[in-house]
Structure 1
Amino acid sequence: MRLSACFLLLTLFFSCGDTGTALNPSAGDGVNDGSLDNAESPDIRLTITNVPTAGALLIGQYMDQQFRVDSARVEGNTVIFQRDEPYPIGHYYVYFTNGEAVQLLISKDQTLTATADMGNLVGSMKVDGSEDNELFYQALADESDLQPEFKALATRRAELRNGSAEYVAMRGERAALVEKRSSHLQSLFDRAPNSLFAAYKKAGQNPDLKTIYTATGDLDEAAQVADFRLHFWDNVNFSDDRLLRTPVIKNKLRRYVTELTPQNADSINLAADRLLAKTDYVGKFYEFFANWIALQYEPGNSTIMDAEAIHVHLIQNYFTPERATWSDSMTIYGLQQRAETMAYSLVGQQAPDITVPGLDGRGERLYDLEKPYVAVFMYNPECHHCVEEAPKLTALYDDLKDEVDFYAIALDTDDDKWEDFVRTQNFTPFTNVFDPTNRAIFKTFYVDNTPELYLLGPNRKIVAKNLKVSQLLDAIELHKIQ
């Protein structure tokens, strides 16, 4: 059976920001794959006061994983990172023994010194030998200077009536402050348009939140969010693999998928389609996005009503031999087979018409049940959660018996255990079936964990699935008003 099936997602490599307004993304939009050709051997020296210097670790990241890259040598108050092989280009943290950290951008120029006081890290940071880090810490300092003004405006906003003259004036002040921030950043980008710093900071900028009104003149917040989501990736250069070794891409991906996208299968699939199209279905961004979204909504672990619909959509469209070039043919075949099995029982589809042997040995046809709704309950008699949910189901019987038929399917057991479960759990009013060969239900209702509860409507289409028994009544009532 398919119970507790291992999710065969394709292997990820060993394995992300900032807020602000949209900026001109054109500078530095050429291909940059993070090549280490002509890169220096590292000689990175940090002298940070007011922090223990007994040792330090260099921590890097790739896609959504952080990992230890190197450990420091200590000379007096200075921690030193040296080796023959260049470090991969990207964003790093230097962690000290007390847990405090210093951020670094490491590009091909890997000889640099930095001095600072941990008590005022950004304000005191002095960097020599690395334009990326000079610009990075200048940007952090500029932002730090502006934050008190943004906070003061936020405090005033909370005290003002929306639409008042004072409120309009406050919004004008904030727009001017946002423009000041953008101007500061743009001046830094202009100094080094092809730098890691420019690519990283641009990628972290959010699009402008447009003011959109409905036909009646009210603020259309749904349209604002939709436009924001549509332009969320405008400042990201998908040809720049260096960005995959920074926090910005992982952070943007999580926000885009789990916060800005409504958490239902149709919306998630549409958001995934739009994002993956930006990668032209090739390269490391494509590999990362496809794997991450599929893992985020892995059936059995996701709380989305029909996570299988997301899985089927992603696997059938993006994990193909032509597109999933990082994986082997057998893994792809396994994923496609599992997706095909799931595809038979997605929400909104016509439920499979199955006939399974009942307690008397005769076939019990699902479509012979005549009440408006059918609850299909799939269980294993020795499953702990099944034993917990079964009494809740029988407790609902009297309230629902006039409009719901209960079709209970035993899985992966034997006749004696099945019949004992039916008797001890008071399932006798239900239609009880069991096929030891599983042939009667092969490629029908998908089950990743037991118990599994599906609700079928009057036309025998799948109304809901992955239900807890406590959700059954609400699912019926919701369907009636749709």
Structure 2
Amino acid sequence: MRKLIMILAFVCCCIQLQAQGYQLTVQLKQYKEGRIYLAHYMGKNFYMADSALLNPQGVAVMKGKENLPGGIYILLLPGKQRYFEMLLDNKDQQFSITADTTDLITKTVFKTSAENELFQSYNKFLTKDITALGKEIESRIAAHTAADSALATEKQAELRKKLQDYRNDLIAQHPKSLLSSIFRAMKEPEVPPTPAGADSTFPYRYYKTHYWDNVNLGDGRLVRTNVIESKLQRYFTQLVPLDPDSINVECDNIIAKARKDKEMFKFVLWWLTYNYETSKYMGMDAVFVHLVEKYYVAGDAYWLNDEQLNKVIARAYAMAPNLIGQQAPPLEVKDSLMKPVSLYTTKSKYTVLVFWDPTCGHCKIEIPKLDSAYKASWKNKGVTMIGFKTEGTREEWQNFIKEHDLSGWMHVWDPNAQSNFRRLYDVYSTPVLYLLDEKKKILAKRLGVEQLDEFLEKSEVKNGAVQNK
């Protein structure tokens, strides 16, 4: 549920548009009935914008009093099984489309839409010239001879040049068109030869530095294409180090550039926030917290209502006290005999702190696994196990401990509900596991048994290497 907070808040938001209006008249030659649908890209997904019924002549009209936001749109045919793409600029949104479903790419005709005439010419170029060259390359590769492989390499270079030349010519002739903005954003940085004396990281550093050169982050039309999300995904997964501090700097840089356009700013901030809230990599919640504290708390997320904003901020505040690298929040609790136990007076090289519930189905599987790993190897590595009961009766808890022989653990609970453990350790389900070092700094969290075992092994090797030095 929590992972839906950002995406729902983003999609539900309405935007203010120019009141010029749109009217798209569509004729499908092979249809006499049915409903057609107009949808737009938003990153890699589609969102519906309008629909209309076809009359017996195969004609449908979609219109509105306000302009649609610019971007790449798709027109879905009745049944939603087939579609074709088209472009909508922020203006000039009154035109007609005649589509022949026997060949949607080359036989679709746009009238009074200069943007789509450019787009259609490009699609025909791809179909006729590029596809033919691609088939020739495939046949050469399939031949498996040295001569054919060499020729295939030449043809691949020819194909890339031909494609880029076409795009460059269009950009030069129609610099303000949406298609030109898309083509510029798709351009790859051309890395020059490594200068004398430069180290081996020069190509990477140059490519990363110039990655955004041709992307106009002030062009909100690009939000409703798949280009911006693809660029963000590649940049933050392949070029930016997987370190929260480095990622935070890069996020701030991109967001600053995106402020030129409200829709671009909204999309970039939303994408980064959602991406790092739901990241599969441990420790990336620190990026989510950074973004929320810097932009959402400051009121920059203008598209959210108060309820949505409060949910996002509350989620970040639940994560903030338990980020990796921070000191674990203190816990003053009781053991099974009601004797006081303090996390910080428990001396140990490592502490595995597990929040669990004896009535939880997943806990019933994972807790015995943890105990087996502890007795097999973790105990010899200096690990202390602290099991914290979150739910269930005292009797259920003690029966489970006895039945599964969880000896050697420190079993604790909070009978007076004074520790505030749910907020401090972000315990919204069970089991939740933290690994702490001897100073109770958080080394890892929310790992499975196998992952934790591997993490401990690497930590031991690393510590041994440091000591040997």
Deviation at 1:12, TM superposition (A): 1.3
CA distance in 2, matches of 1:314, 1:307: 11
Which residue, out of 404, 407, 410, partners 2:389? 410
Q: Is contact 2:50–2:62 with CA below 8 Å preserved after alignment?
A: no
Q: Which has the higher contact order (CA 8 A, sep 6+)?
A: 1
List aligned pairs for 1:10-409, cutoff 5 A: 11-14=9-12, 35-39=17-21, 41-48=22-29, 52-61=31-40, 63-64=42-43, 65-76=46-57, 78-83=58-63, 85=65, 87-90=67-70, 91-98=72-79, 99-107=81-89, 108-144=91-127, 145-150=129-134, 152=136, 174-175=156-157, 177-203=159-185, 205-208=186-189, 210=191, 224=203, 227-258=206-237, 265-266=244-245, 268-280=247-259, 283-298=262-277, 302-328=279-305, 332=309, 335-399=312-376, 400-402=378-380, 403-409=382-388
Q: Is contact 2:17–2:66 with CA below 8 Å preserved after alignment?
A: no
The residue matched to 2:358 in structure 1 has which SS? coil
Paired amino acid for 2:161: E
Query: If the length of structure 2 is used for normalisation, what is the TM-score?
Result: 0.81
Q: Is contact 2:218–2:257 with CA below 8 Å preserved after alignment?
A: no
Q: Is contact 1:34–1:88 with CA below 8 Å preserved after alignment?
A: no
Paired amino acid for 1:305: M
The residue matched to 1:381 in structure 2 has which SS? coil
Deviation at 1:391, TM superposition (A): 1.0
Q: Is contact 1:207–1:234 with CA below 8 Å preserved after alignment?
A: no
Distance 1:282 1:180, change over 3 A: closer
Q: How many residues align?
A: 449
Distance 1:226 1:386, change over 3 A: farther
Q: Which has the larger share of helix?
A: 2
2:418 is the alignment partner of 1:439: yes
Q: Which residue of 1 aligns with 2:436?
A: 456
CA distance in 2, matches of 1:471, 1:366: 24
CA distance in 2, matches of 1:209, 1:432: 60
CA distance in 2, matches of 1:305, 1:281: 33
Q: Is contact 1:377–1:409 with CA below 8 Å preserved after alignment?
A: yes
Paired amino acid for 2:289: V
The residue matched to 2:104 in structure 1 has which SS? helix
Distance 1:354 1:43, change over 3 A: closer
Paired amino acid for 1:146: I
The residue matched to 2:160 in structure 1 has which SS? helix
Q: Which residue of 1 aligns with 2:467?
A: none
Paired amino acid for 1:356: V
The residue matched to 1:183 in structure 2 has which SS? helix
CA distance in 2, matches of 1:106, 1:6: 31
Distance 1:66 1:455, change over 3 A: same
Q: Is contact 1:92–1:106 with CA below 8 Å preserved after alignment?
A: yes
Instruction: Give CA-to-partner distance per residue, 1:99-139, whole Å, 9 cap, x none.
Output: 11122223433343444544443333333221111100111
Give the unaligned 5+ runs of structure 1: 16-32
CA distance in 1, matches of 2:279, 2:416: 30
Instruction: Give CA-to-partner distance per residue, 1:243-284, whole Å, 9 cap, x none.
Output: 333343344444444566566645544443332122138722
Query: If the length of structure 1 is used for normalisation, what is the TM-score?
Result: 0.79
Distance 1:235 1:389, change over 3 A: same
Distance 1:216 1:467, change over 3 A: farther
Paired amino acid for 1:80: A
The residue matched to 2:419 in structure 1 has which SS? helix
Paired amino acid for 1:323: D
Which residue, out of 428, 433, 438, partners 2:407? 428
Distance 1:246 1:459, change over 3 A: same
Distance 1:73 1:319, change over 3 A: same
